[in-house]
């Protein structure tokens, strides 16, 4: 059970990272809610399960994720500590503005590192897939994008409809 949970988390993170830059654009950075982008994780988990990965592929992806996490763990912990120290300060404390500027710079650097790392992990995972799986993934991505576009159109129609009704 624990092994399946760890593998599931690794796999969901792998494709979350890869929800192919869509999640990267809207995902909060380290210390923010959702980590690598919680919406993409659900989609990524489903996508990987639908690819019928071999045990060897699952093991490779798990290793890629472990390695990625290990590389960034120290930076994320340092950023979390810096954020906690800043949040403990009062706005009238000496050095408050300097701490805010330092935190902003650290979060910017962490975001840059996170996006680059996500792209690296995505590329590594993509290379683990067979050409047929890569094609299947592209199809699933296109279908997901079409569903997202339909949802946006539906929401826009509902908003336009409710605006017309309230204007009567």
The structural domains of the chain, with segments of one domain joined by +, span 2-140
Return the number of other C-beta atoms located less than 10 Å from residue 167's C-beta.
6
Residues above pLDDT 90, as percent of the chain: 52
Q: What is the pLDDT of residues 116-167, one digit of tens each?
A: 998 999 899 999 999 999 999 999 999 999 999 999 999 999 888 776 555 5
pTM over 0.85: no
CA–CA distances in Å: residue 11 to residues 67, 68, 120, 127: 13, 13, 15, 15
């Amino acid at each position: 059970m624990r092994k399946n949970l760890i593998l599931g988390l690794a796999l969901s993170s792998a494709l979350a990272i890869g929800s192919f830059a869509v999640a990267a654009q809207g995902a909060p950075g380290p210390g923010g809610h959702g980590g690598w982008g919680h919406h993409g994780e659900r989609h990524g988990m489903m996508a990987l399960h639908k690819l019928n990965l071999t045990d060897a592929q699952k093991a490779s992806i798990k290793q890629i994720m472990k390695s990625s996490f290990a590389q960034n763990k120290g930076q994320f912990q340092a950023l979390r500590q810096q954020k906690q120290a800043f949040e403990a300060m009062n706005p009238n404390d000496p050095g408050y503005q300097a701490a805010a500027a330092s935190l902003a710079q650290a979060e910017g650097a962490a975001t840059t590192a996170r996006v680059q790392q996500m792209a690296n992990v995505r590329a590594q995972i993509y290379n683990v897939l067979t050409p047929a799986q890569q094609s299947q993934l592209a199809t699933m991505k296109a279908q997901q994008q079409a569903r997202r576009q339909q949802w946006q159109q539906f929401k826009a129609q509902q908003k336009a409809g409710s605006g017309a009704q309230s204007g009567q």
